[in-house]
Structure 1
Amino acid sequence: MNNEQLDRSDQAELAQFGYDQSLDRTTGRFASFAVAFAFVSIATGIFTTYGSVLNTSGPAGIWTWPFVVVGQTAVALVLGMLASRIPVTGYAYQWVSRVANPILGWVVGWVAVTFLVVVLVAVDYTIAATVMPVLLSYTSSLTTNVLVTATVVLIQACLAGSSTKWSERVNSAAVSAELIGMLILTVLLYVVAAFRGQTHTKNLFSTGAIPHHDYMSFGDLIHAGPWMLGFMLGAFTIVGFESAANLAEETHDPERVVPRAMWQAVLASGILGFLFIVAVTLAVQDPVALAKSSTPVADVIRHTLGGATSSVLLTLIVVAIFACGLVIMMSGVRLIWAMSRDERFPGWKHWKQVSPRFHTPLRATMLYTVIALCVLGTAAFSENVLLTLFGAATLLPACIYLASVLLFLIKRKSLPQHAKFDLGVWERPVAVTALVWLLFELLLFRDTSFKDAWMYVLIMMAIGAVYLAALLRHRGRSGMAMPDMHSIDAEFEGR
């Protein structure tokens, strides 16, 4: 079928869920993959968290990465099965609302909104704090970092609010640049470090300044073991692949395209990311000294490759991180729009509108931008801004994934089968693997270093609880029903 025939089929599929087609379907296979890959953005995650891993786990903490890749691939496959069966903008909010109940779905949707706000700030702050000071040779400060981050957020808002097509074009070009740039950067680090005799294989198994005693232990009640904290490197980086599902109503043949984009983005990011962090670790001259730097990865690149080459590659990294933030904004805006379309988000009458000029949820974009800038403003008073942001941005998606995977395991036998994406006999083992991984990941957040991240989550949950209580009081449980719930129920019953 051509795109026109697919679009008619997709519109008919969307109508079964009670919605009319109001967004343009312009997203193809590569664009869908680019959205998922850009959100994961190995450049962003590694530049953000590598220094923290050096301080908590030492260089040997990088060996947690392959375990995270396996766990998150399993999660992506489970979410892919949900995305294929419910190809509607709003991803986990829609899945949980329709398969479990709308109240639980609203809670998951609110958690997702808070995640998509804080992770945008974390990603854009990475540009300001860990790349630009080295690229432009200036000394960063909290004020400078906040101003640069705010500027980046506003540029992304202008692009996302004015054109989805151009946003996707910018993102696709940036993803291509990131893939090529990261490959070149990785190869150059291996080759140049080896040629100059600067390859230090002992780094791969060094704990740096971290004592060897109980290094591999799980930890105690309120502290995770040193090596266990290394899992945060991969856990923060390999998230957001489900963003492709949040553009389901703008994607051609989303039942087939979206699930594949998700798991392919995780595998591509996992393999390339691991090769890169190994290359960086091998090129580190002094892990203990590097752990004290606020720009550790950029420092290694500049020291190994020299000024001119590293400047070009760091510029590509900035482009990749910008694209990551752009995709996060597009995803967050569409979730607010989807919840507002169902009259579930505060001030929904304003945010559900699609701009007749730009064909984008322009007002939802403006709201999302204001919320993000408010979060940035509060983070500016924290001494450990980046640690707080990445902690919250890792904790929140883990909660969303756990709710979705548990829901799938409970309801999988009643879910309709979908020939376009199905794991067959591997369905249950993959789902169980995802569940075990997510439970393990959440246990790591008992560590007291994440107390500020928990505080952010609790404050946002309190705000959400107040609004949900008001909704229930005003409408009652029956007033929370999703549009055309009977249609999905019919699907579950096999029609």
Structure 2
Amino acid sequence: MTRPTDREELARFGYEPSFERRTNRFASFAVAFAFVSIATGIFTTYGSVLNSSGPLGIWTWPIAVVGQLAVALVIGTLASRIPVTGYAYQWTSRLANPVLGWIIGWISFMFLAVVVVAVDYTVASTVLPVMLNYSSTTGTVWLITAVILLVQAVLIATSTRWTQRVNNTAVSAELIGMVVLTVLLLVVAAVRHQMDFGNLWSRGAVPAEGYWSLGDWTSAGPWVLGFLLGAFTIVGFESAANLAEETNDPERVVPRAMWQAVLASGVLGFLFIVAVTLAAGDPVALAASGTPIADVIERTLGSVVSTLLLLLVVLAIFACGLVIMLTGTRLTWAMSRDKRFPGWSQWGQVSPRFGTPLKATILYVVLAEIILGVFAAYSQDALFTLFGAATLLPAVIYAATVALYLAKRKSLPAGGRFDLGAWEIPVLVVAVVWLVFELAVFRDTSFADAWLYVLVMLVAGAIYLTALLLTRGRQALDMPDMHSIDAEFDAEPDQKVRS
């Protein structure tokens, strides 16, 4: 049977091609891997795990990886069946109903708008001051982050090809750099007798009493908080699905890119964490540092290698923010194409000169700069608040997506080239158990500001959704061509022109 052309494939969902398909297999993997960015996540959150859970908290990482891998496999099935830009927004709108789809799309937009700020803020607040040996201030951090956001936006707005080239280079460097660093740490620490295997089982300064407790209604136990290391880092793999309309053979390439990115990040990230922990020395003293990873590298491998590590982290963080912004602009464009985003007539355009959603990129970076200003000005711990929101939101999105798959797995569109087969039920069980547990962690009162951000953005979205329904009616949220799978299955047999 002849495979449908790109135009025929998109026509199934009511669209015409808007982008060139230039994203190959490695570029798709690089997008997913860059968003996950183990260098960024581990460098940023390892210190908080030392303080909340001690070194023993690193053993939550493999559990988080298994849970996120199960989620990635479920989402990969949806991405293969509905290979359209907009990912969770598209899947929910077509498999559940357009109103719920809009809500998930808005939550996804909220996540992407805040996480790019959180990631870029890390460079200015924790990496560059150490690397260049200067004291940062709130104003300095704000200015540097704002400039980084602007540079990323200019690159995305003017050239998708160069955006992917920069990202491919950064991901290659991160993969090679993390492997080399891990090996060097293990070898040099062993030769110098600096390995302390007791660190792998140490609680550091965290009291033994109640360590394994799940917590109460408003707090999570010390060991449970260690899951934030994996929960924050192993996210964003679904970003490859948001470039489906720019990817060659997306039904096959995108799902593979997602699960391969999670697996590669999980294995390499854990080996690196173990190596750092073995060479950590006194974990209690290390927990007091603002840059514990850099401290361990410098003490074990010297200042030159430590500086190279920081340079690698800067490159990885820039690529991570770049991919996040790329994903956010595509989601904004996709919702605007369906006339379902505020100001859609402007943001749904593709620049004839650059072949990119230029105006959607401008909107996205302006909003990111506003979020940066608000958090920097009014939050006493802006970085933790940003990361809290950036960890909470994807958990909500994943939970909604997996629940959708559970409800609609028997009626998915035909034609997908990725299927779980006999592993479907076990994978679903793992994904559901993991997501329920992960969401329970966020009952801790330390995430109050993160919940406040979610609430404010949800209220803003609800106001717009209400206005949309009042001015344009229920049909304003209908999807092109295919309103929902339910509608198709309710139709008469002779009206079912697609399967």
TM bracket (short chain): over 0.9
Shift of 1:488: 5.6
Farther off after superposition, 366-375 or 121-130: 121-130
Displacement, 1:487?
Answer: 8.6
Report the Cα distance in structure 2 between the residues aligned to 1:305 and 1:117, rounded to whole angstroms. 37
For 1:393, the equivalent position in structure 2 comes to: 390
Correspondences of 1:363-378 after superposition (within 5 Å): 363-378=359-374
Choose which of 477, 480, 488 in structure 2 pairs with 1:480.
Answer: 477
For 1:384, the equivalent position in structure 2 comes to: 381
Q: Are the counterparts in 2 of residues 129 and 294 from structure 1 also a CA contact under 8 Å? A: no
Aligned residue in 2 for 1:469: 466
| 1:255 corresponds to 2:248 | no
The residue identity in structure 1 corresponding to 2:59 is W
1:418-466 CA distance string (max 9 Å, x none): 4510111211221121111101100000001111111111111110110
1:210-221 map, 5 Å? 210-221=206-217
Structure 1 residue ranges without an equivalent (≥5): none
CA distance in 1, matches of 2:117, 2:71: 24
1:32-431 matches, within 5 Å, as 32-381=28-377, 382-418=379-415, 420-431=417-428
Does structure 2 conserve the Cα–Cα contact (< 8 Å) formed by 1:354 and 1:361? yes
Q: State the identity %.
A: 69
Partners of 1:240 and 1:488 lie apart in 2 by 26
How far apart, CA to CA, are the structure 1 residues paired with 2:471 and 2:26? 44
Shift of 1:478: 2.5
State the alpha-carbon separation in 2 of the partners of residues 417 and 47 from structure 1.
Answer: 42
Quote the offset at 1:303 in angstroms: 2.0
SS in 2 for 1:412: helix
Deviation string for 1:189-244 (max 9, x for gaps)? 11122222221211111111110001011011111000000000000000000000
How far apart, CA to CA, are the structure 2 residues paired with 1:288 and 1:107? Answer: 44
Q: Residue type matched to 1:54 in 2?
A: L
Matching residue's letter, 2:242 = N
- Runs of 4 or more, structure 1, over 3 Å off, are 416-419, 486-495
Specify the code of the residue in structure 2 equivalent to 1:435.
V
- Cα displacement (A) at 1:490: 8.6
Q: CA deviation at 1:140?
A: 2.5
Query: Quick check: 1:130–1:298 contact (8 Å CA) kept in 2?
Result: no
Deviates more, 1:410-419 or 1:296-305: 410-419
CA separation in 2, counterparts of 1:26 and 1:270? 28
CA distance in 1 between counterparts of 2:134 and 2:122 reads 15
State the shift of 1:479 in Å: 2.5
Q: CA deviation at 1:388?
A: 0.6
Would you say 1:436 and 2:433 are equivalent positions?
A: yes
Partners of 2:291 and 2:116 lie apart in 1 by 19
Taking the aligned partners of 2:57 and 2:466, their CA distance within structure 1 comes to: 43
How far did 1:491 drift? Answer: 7.6
* Compared CA separation, residues 253 and 491, structure 1 to 2 (3 A): farther
**Which amino acid in structure 2 is aligned with residue 354 of structure 1?**
V
Q: Distance in 2 between matches of 1:157 and 1:430?
A: 37
Q: 1:309-359 CA distances to partner (integer Å, 9 max, x unpaired)? A: 221232122111110110000000000000001111111111011111100
Superposition deviation, residue 123 in structure 1: 0.8
For 1:415 and 1:405, the matched residues in 2 are separated by 13
Query: TM-score if structure 2 supplies the norm length?
Result: 0.96
Q: 1:227 to 1:359 in 2, by over 3 A?
A: same
Structure 2 residue runs without a partner (length 5+): 490-495
The whole-number CA distance in structure 1 between the counterparts of 2:66 and 2:414 is 25
Instruction: Let me know the Cα RMSD of the aligned residues.
Output: 1.6
What is the alpha-carbon distance in structure 2 between the residues aligned to residue 392 and residue 284 of structure 1?
29
Question: Are 1:48 and 1:386, in contact at CA under 8 Å, matched by a contact in 2?
Answer: no
Q: Is 1:457 aligned with 2:454?
A: yes
Q: Is the 8 A contact 2:110 2:457 kept in 1?
A: yes
In structure 1, how many angstroms separate the alpha carbons of the residues matched to 2:485 and 2:25? 26
Q: Could you tell me how far apart the structure 1 residues matched to 2:196 and 2:360 are? A: 50
Alpha-carbon shift at residue 65 of structure 1 (Å): 0.2
